[in-house]
Copies of this chain bind each other. A is one copy, B any other.
Amino acid sequence: MVTASICTIGDEILIGQIVDTNSSMISRALNAIGVKVARMISASDSKEDIFATIRHCARLSDIVILTGGLGPTKDDITKNALAEFTGAKGFVRSEEQYAIIEKVLAARGIELSDINRAQAMVPDTCKVILNECGTAPCMEFVLRREDGREYILFSMPGVPFETENALPKVIQEIISHFKMENIFHKTVCTFGIPESTLSKMIEKWEDDLPENIHLAYLPNTILGVRLRLSIYGTDKERGENEIDREIAKLRGIIGEAIYGYGESSLQEAIGKLLADKGMTVCTAESCTGGKIASLITNVAGASKYFKGSVIAYDNSIKENLLNVAHETLVRYGAVSRECVEQMAEGVRKAMNCDFSVATSGVAGPGGGSETNPVGTVWIAVSAKGKVKSLKLHFKAPRAVNIERFASHALNFLRETILEYYRNN
């Protein structure tokens, strides 16, 4: 099996000011072609660290992918370090990348400077892989370890969307160098059953899995518990069939807790349910402050089924735009079944939708009371006027509470749509 290591270069990652999202993106792309990632490493913007990290990774794997440290400023030293590491005699200008630099900066309305021009210069030891949407080109080096074994070293820009854009070309280079072993994963996305309960529910199924299938639990407070089934070393069709057979059994045990497969999300699952039947949805959000709408509209094509939202943070907005009765707010307060149900129905009518979901709660850290401590949320869903609600409670920091409120609201909406479809 071909193996790779992914190295992120940059003090800003080691110091914790930036979260590394490139490594997981690159890893997913490698996995898809059957390259196993052996290590992810972050090292500092120092020549010694870059050298040591490449050597360490080259011992562990056939491919080393560096990201970052290619910016135009003085603290970015990866390109010079790689020139020295690979014994370059000098730098040459990539005319194609130069043309892209001119185009990219013109599109951004930035004047071309010497600093930008220098980004088209690359060590004469590398093959250039063009970066179509940024100024720093990718570089590929074929190198030998101390023991004489060949490995390939890639250097990619660290700006995530530039990395993402250049990644398919790097993957293509890898495919053309190595003959890959087959691999197949399928991830089952579940929501609403806690990991340890789920583990107990499916214990027998898990024990009965064929030996060549590996199961991993991927618990996530936002996405729910995902179950990843993997087969290495089999052909794809047989692997897929074998895994699908096991998933069919799993569905018999946990049913509608499964909302999708692979990279699916609750908002995508909802989008599919609605688009398939030409139905529409809207949201009325207090404590989630637009998070649910934002998740729904992150899905391309959401305009087919999502009409809009009213974020009613202030009580006056609940009354004036969502038609919540003043009396309700006075008697029961904003964080109550009565208020959230009126919000759901109010927004659904105002936006003329089939379904709606509403939230009102206390994200914290302030605003808690004895009845409604920090972490409390009321969620209501309306299906063509039939309104249901539930109350939940979490004990997390503000941002996590908001995310959990939003994902539970989405799941409640999903369950309600499924129920509506069953009955109508």
A14 engages B43 (CB within 8 Å): no
B12 engages A17 (CB within 8 Å): no
| A324, chain B: closest CB distance, angstroms | 12
Q: Is A330 an interface residue (CB 8 A)?
A: no
Q: Is A303 an interface residue (CB 8 A)?
A: yes
A15 engages B37 (CB within 8 Å): yes
Select one of B17, B312, B395 contacting A187, CB under 8 A: B17
Residues from chain B with a CB closer than 8 A to the CB of A159 are 219, 221
Q: Is A186 an interface residue (CB 8 A)?
A: no
| A47, chain B: closest CB distance, angstroms | 15
Chain B residue at minimum C-beta to C-beta distance from A133: B395
Complex Cα spacing A310 to B311, Å: 6
Number of copies: 2
Complex Cα spacing A311 to B283, Å: 9
Pick the most buried of A29, A185, A195, A283: most chain B CB atoms within 10 A of its CB. A195
Pick the most buried of A17, A200, A298, A402: most chain B CB atoms within 10 A of its CB. A17
Complex Cα spacing A388 to B146, Å: 63
8 Å CB interface, A268-309 against B: 283, 285, 288-294, 296-298, 300-303, 306-309
Known contacts A289-B296, A317-B308; A115 and B366 CB within 8 A of each other: no
Q: Is A83 an interface residue (CB 8 A)?
A: no
A28 engages B16 (CB within 8 Å): yes
B17 engages A226 (CB within 8 Å): yes
Residues from chain B with a CB closer than 8 A to the CB of A115 are 196, 199-200
Q: Is A399 an interface residue (CB 8 A)?
A: yes
Complex Cα spacing A220 to B20, Å: 12
Pick the most buried of A21, A187, A196, A218: most chain B CB atoms within 10 A of its CB. A196
| A36, chain B: closest CB distance, angstroms | 8
Q: Is A197 an interface residue (CB 8 A)?
A: yes
Chain B residue at minimum C-beta to C-beta distance from A317: B308
| A398, chain B: closest CB distance, angstroms | 6
| A335, chain B: closest CB distance, angstroms | 13
Interface string of A6-25 (1 = CB under 8 A from B): 00100111111111110111
B161 engages A396 (CB within 8 Å): yes
New A-B contacts (13) at CB < 8 Å, excluding given A17-B226, A113-B200, A300-B366: A14-B27, A14-B37, A16-B23, A17-B218, A18-B24, A40-B42, A285-B290, A290-B309, A293-B311, A308-B310, A308-B313, A309-B309, A309-B311
14 examples of A-B residue contacts, CB within 8 angstroms: A14-B37, A19-B20, A20-B24, A73-B195, A75-B216, A75-B217, A113-B197, A161-B221, A289-B297, A290-B294, A298-B398, A300-B366, A307-B314, A309-B309
Residues of chain A having any CB pair with chain B under 8 Å = 8, 11-21, 23-31, 37-45, 56, 71-75, 107-108, 110-111, 113, 115-116, 133, 135, 159-161, 164, 185, 187, 194-197, 199-200, 206, 215-221, 226, 228, 283, 285, 288-294, 296-298, 300-303, 306-314, 316-317, 320-321, 350-352, 364-367, 393, 395-400, 402
Give 6 nearest A-B pairs by CB, closest first: A289-B297, A16-B27, A290-B293, A290-B290, A16-B28, A309-B311
